[in-house]
Amino acid sequence: MTGNFNIRDSDWDPLVYHHSIHTDDLLTIADSLGLELSPPSNPGPTRFTDNPRDSNSVLDLVFIPPDNLGFGKQILHPEIQRPSDHVPITVEVGIHGTNIDINRWSIKKDSEEEKNFISSIITGVKNLDTSNIGTKDGLENSIQQLKTTFDHAWINNSKLKRITKHSKEWWNTECSDSLNRY
């Protein structure tokens, strides 16, 4: 979580001698997300004022998990801050090399399951009782029948598929071989 929080506070700005009432709220939100204030490796102001009567300040903050490899490694770049009055900050964030499985229910295009799905829908629509559709209860009953038709058709014909980077139909052995050679 990063950004210009517009909170001047002694917790992160050595030129400020007070504690803002908003700091506790910000820190509580960060803590609820498992984040902590991550100090830059080269501390300094993140906002430079054009008014000589005002002082430069630290308003831009970075909150990341304390066990993240990038904690405390962000860098302030005051040398490239113009035309903005805020200093650009680069943040290095470590990303764990975990595999995230994605599963989706699907029906393969042009398959026997797709034909059965469509056939089930057509049959269900043909058999839909619309004799009492002129009343609210009759309409709700017809809608429920239609929903049940679609639900049963989907449950009976779809399959759980694991989605990977190779899940596209265009991916073939030649693609795998090329990737392995690369």
Half-sphere CA count of 181, side-chain side, radius 13 A: 6
- 151/141 Cα distance (integer angstroms): 15
CB 67 within 8 A of CB 55: no
pTM (two decimals):
0.52
Q: Is 91 exposed, middle or buried (0-12, 13-18, 19+ CB in 10 A)?
A: middle
Beta-strand relationship, 102-106 and 159-163: antiparallel
* pLDDT higher than threshold 80 for residue 6: yes
Q: What pLDDT score was predicted for residue 30?
A: 92
- 7/29 Cα distance (integer angstroms): 14
What would the mean pLDDT of 148-166 be, rounded to a whole number?
Answer: 87
pLDDT digits (tens, 9 = 90+) for 46-83: 888 888 888 889 989 999 998 888 888 889 998 887 78
pLDDT digits (tens, 9 = 90+) for 91-108: 887 666 666 667 888 898
Q: What pLDDT score was predicted for residue 67?
A: 87
CB 108 within 8 A of CB 114: yes
* pLDDT higher than threshold 90 for residue 167: no
163 or 74, which is more confident? Answer: 74
Q: Which residue has the tokens 């989706």?
A: 104
Q: What pLDDT score was predicted for residue 98?
A: 63
* pLDDT higher than threshold 90 for residue 169: no
Nearest to 48 by CA among 98, 94, 86, 88: 86
pLDDT category at 161 given cuts 50, 70, 90 is confident
Q: What pLDDT score was predicted for residue 123?
A: 95
pLDDT digits (tens, 9 = 90+) for 26-37: 999 999 999 999
Question: Which residue ranges form the domains of the chain, and what is each CATH number?
Answer: 1-97 (3.60.10.10), 102-181 (no CATH)
Beta-strand relationship, 102-106 and 60-64: unpaired
Nearest to 87 by CA among 50, 58, 62, 53: 58
Q: Residue 159: which region, alpha, beta or left (left: phi > 0; alpha: psi -120 to 50)?
A: beta
- 39/29 Cα distance (integer angstroms): 18
pLDDT digits (tens, 9 = 90+) for 109-155: 899 999 999 999 999 999 998 888 899 999 999 999 999 999 999 99
